[in-house]
């Protein structure tokens, strides 16, 4: 077999071969070259070290087939039903090597070797525009742990019988017929939700159709966009709950996002584009630096407890106008039309004539969550605000307090506790006792030293006292706080600040080594 | 500005075997009471702002994402 056959083509990776691979009879390579998505993919694949392109010339893609049946099949123009699938490899795979591997000849690259070099695939849709269909590409390297792609899952591809797999999150560009940005952002987030909760991952056509049942100011298809309300309806339809946060000047956006991303929950982020309209993207990862990135993550004059979001300098989002894992750099607070935003974002969006970077203003964040996750990040933050108010009175002015807040599950918590060096009695108690299925963890460090960690029941209700355990990680800190809580002259102020329930919880003697445990059966709404 | 170790937030970090002394103020009732009086309004205001932020307005629900 040659490098080109009826079924497949193998070529060295280059701008020309990539654009040729993505083209079709309605969209020439020159037109592909003008697409922002194609340019982004070329730059991204160069960074990943792509050396070889393998094109499956006849590929049936489930999502495109649904879209085809819903719209393109009934057009007068004869659109193709089948796509191409374009695979990328690093380290220069030759056609001969690939055919040897397909034929299982001696000396052929093993499936393991092919998997090591595999960078993923792009489904090239046979359309005049919106050629980038389902795209699953490897992420960048972690760069020493800075980059965290927490919302990826495993994908499998079968290339002529060779099983290939990689960790990623599927992406595609909007076709503005069956899917605008909001539909695509939901589609990407549903791919991860399917992995977490075994919920369906419907096609773009199906998402738009379901979302448009709620209200429609105009015809749903061709789709020109979805409202937040319609996006919520699409989330409910797959059996999840839409947890919606309207971004105000006091919303600690970075910490809010990281608190969910750390549990693998992607966020649908709705933004206003400077000088443009409203756009939706899927946030799937973040970069955390060892140095604080911004002095605060809320607007000037607003207050929030110091949280790890302060160390996040960028997010990685699937932006259907560009590509997968596109960078969103966190910038300080700004105003737009009289509204103050806690932070702003800059990334791939440029002003058309001047190439000036455009600012994105965060409006709304939507997390598709399992119905049992009821206590929100902001519910927990309110309790942390209370305690931190007291702690600022106890620590020296130059001290650094920092909360690391993240959602987790009982199984992940127990796995981490088991692997930790917590004192044996605390570890055993945490492992042996029952925990809620979903838990908020809030670890406090003082001058870089962990001093305590709260566990909060995320399945409870927002008006309850959700904290049920506290692991004291520094005896000196516990003792100092305990002495402060016992000051008789401050008793009224302390209960006003903390509430009686929280005050009682903090003063309860640890019942197992350095663990304070409030039996869940004793938890009742305050 | 604060500094911290890489990897924070990626799993359970373990407490130091030998905890360092912390930068805590000596406990003085008058100082604690005065500081709590000073900080209480700020905390209450921040909590009120968070509660406001949790109320999703009809206006927000109608925002259309269409770029």
**Does the pLDDT at position A316 exceed 90?**
yes
**DSSP secondary-structure letter at A444?**
E
CB contact under 8 A, B21 and A402: no
**Does the pLDDT at position A522 exceed 60?**
no
- This model of the complex carries an ipTM of 0.83
Q: Share the mean pLDDT of chain A.
A: 94
Sheet holding A467-472, edge to edge: A401-409, A438-446, A449-457, A467-472, A515-517
pLDDT at A303: 93
Q: Which two tokens stand for residue A193?
A: 């939700």
**What's the first-to-final CA gap in chain B, in angstroms?**
38
The two beta strands, A226-227 and A241-246, are unpaired
Query: pLDDT (tens digit, 9 = 90+) per residue, A83-107?
Result: 999 999 998 899 999 999 999 999 9
**DSSP secondary-structure letter at A429?**
H
A208 against A214, higher pLDDT: A208
Query: pLDDT (tens digit, 9 = 90+) per residue, B13-51?
Result: 444 456 788 889 999 999 999 999 999 999 999 999 998
Three-point CA angle A110, A113, A115, nearest 5°: 110
Q: Which single residue is written with the structure tokens 């509430």?
A: A499
CB contact under 8 A, B64 and A378: no
Round to whole Å and give the CA distance between A138 and A324.
10
CB contact under 8 A, A448 and B56: no
Q: Cβ atoms within 10 A of the Cβ of A367, count?
A: 28
CB contact under 8 A, A244 and B56: yes
pLDDT at B8: 37
CB contact under 8 A, A148 and B22: no
Q: How far is CA A55 from CA A32, A105, A401, B67, in A?
A: 16, 21, 53, 31
Cβ-nearest to B25 among A229, A396, A490: A396
Query: pLDDT (tens digit, 9 = 90+) per residue, A367-391?
Result: 999 999 999 999 999 999 999 999 9
Three-point CA angle B2, B8, B14, nearest 5°: 110
The band of B10, judged by pLDDT with boundaries at 50, 70 and 90, is: very low
Q: How many CB pairs under 8 A join A and B?
A: 225
**Does the pLDDT at position A171 exceed 90?**
yes
Q: Is the pTM of this model over 0.90?
A: yes
pLDDT at A519: 63
Which residues partner with A273 through β-bridges? A360
Residue A201: which of A189, A190, A186, A188 has the closest Cα?
Answer: A190
Q: In whole angstroms, what separates CA A62 from the centre of its chain?
A: 24
A481 against B53, higher pLDDT: A481
- The residue-averaged pLDDT of A209-234 equals 87
B41 at the A interface (CB within 8 A)?
A: no
**Does the pLDDT at position B66 exceed 90?**
no
């Amino acid at each position: 077999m040659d490098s080109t056959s009826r079924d497949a083509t193998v070529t060295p990776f280059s701008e020309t071969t990539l654009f040729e691979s993505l083209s079709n009879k309605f969209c020439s390579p020159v037109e592909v070259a003008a697409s922002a998505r194609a340019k982004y993919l070329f730059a991204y694949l160069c960074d990943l070290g792509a050396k070889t392109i393998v094109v499956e010339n006849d590929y049936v893609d489930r999502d495109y087939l649904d879209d085809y049946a819903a719209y393109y099949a009934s057009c007068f123009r004869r659109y193709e039903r089948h796509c191409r699938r374009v695979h990328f490899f690093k380290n220069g795979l030759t056609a001969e090597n690939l055919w040897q591997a397909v034929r299982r000849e001696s000396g052929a690259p093993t499936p393991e070797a092919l998997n090591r070099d595999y960078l993923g695939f792009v489904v090239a849709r046979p359309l005049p525009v919106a050629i980038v269909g389902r795209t699953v590409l490897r992420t960048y390297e972690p760069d020493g742990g800075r980059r965290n792609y927490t919302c990826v899952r495993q994908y499998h591809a079968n290339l002529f019988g060779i099983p290939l797999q990689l960790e990623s999150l599927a992406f595609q560009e909007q076709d503005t017929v069956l899917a605008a940005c909001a539909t695509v952002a939901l589609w990407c987030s549903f791919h991860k939700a399917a992995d977490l909760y075994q919920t369906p991952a419907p096609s773009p056509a199906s998402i738009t159709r379901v979302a448009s049942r709620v209200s429609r100011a105009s015809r749903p298809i061709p789709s020109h966009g979805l409202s937040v309300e319609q996006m919520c309806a699409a989330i409910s339809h797959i059996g999840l709950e839409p947890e919606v946060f309207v971004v105000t000047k006091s919303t600690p956006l970075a910490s809010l996002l990281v608190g969910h991303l750390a549990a693998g929950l992607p966020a649908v982020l709705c933004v206003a584009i400077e000088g443009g309209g409203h756009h939706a993207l899927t946030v799937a990862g973040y970069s955390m630096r060892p140095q604080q990135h911004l002095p605060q993550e809320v607007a000037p004059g607003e207050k929030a407890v110091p949280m790890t979001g302060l160390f996040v300098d960028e997010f990685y989002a699937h932006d259907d106008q560009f590509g997968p894992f596109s960078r969103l750099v966190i910038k300080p607070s700004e105003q737009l039309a009289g509204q103050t935003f806690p932070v702003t974002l800059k990334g791939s969006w440029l002003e058309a004539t001047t190439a000036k970077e455009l600012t994105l203003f965060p409006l709304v964040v939507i997390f598709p969550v399992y119905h049992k996750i009821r206590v929100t990040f902001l519910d927990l933050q309110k309790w942390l605000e209370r305690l931190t108010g007291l702690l600022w009175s106890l620590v020296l002015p130059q001290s650094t307090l920092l909360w690391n807040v993240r959602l987790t599950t009982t199984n992940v918590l127990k796995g981490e506790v088991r692997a930790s060096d917590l004192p044996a009695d605390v570890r055993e108690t945490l492992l042996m006792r029952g925990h809620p299925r979903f838990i908020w963890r809030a670890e406090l460090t003082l001058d870089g030293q962990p001093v305590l960690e709260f566990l909060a029941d995320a399945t409870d209700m927002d008006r309850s006292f959700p904290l049920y355990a506290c692991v004291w990680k520094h005896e000196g800190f516990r003792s100092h706080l305990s002495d402060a809580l016992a000051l008789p002259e401050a008793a009224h102020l302390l209960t006003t600040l903390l509430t009686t329930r929280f005050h009682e919880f903090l003063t309860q003697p640890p019942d197992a080594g350095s663990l304070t445990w409030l039996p869940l059966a004793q938890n009742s709404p305050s | 500005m604060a500094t911290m170790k890489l990897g924070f937030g990626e799993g359970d970090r373990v407490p130091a075997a030998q905890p360092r002394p912390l930068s805590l103020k000596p406990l003085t009732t008058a100082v604690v009471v005065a500081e709590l009086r000073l900080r209480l309004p700020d905390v209450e205001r921040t909590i009120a702002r968070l509660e406001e932020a949790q109320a999703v307005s009809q206006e927000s629900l109608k925002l259309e994402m269409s770029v």
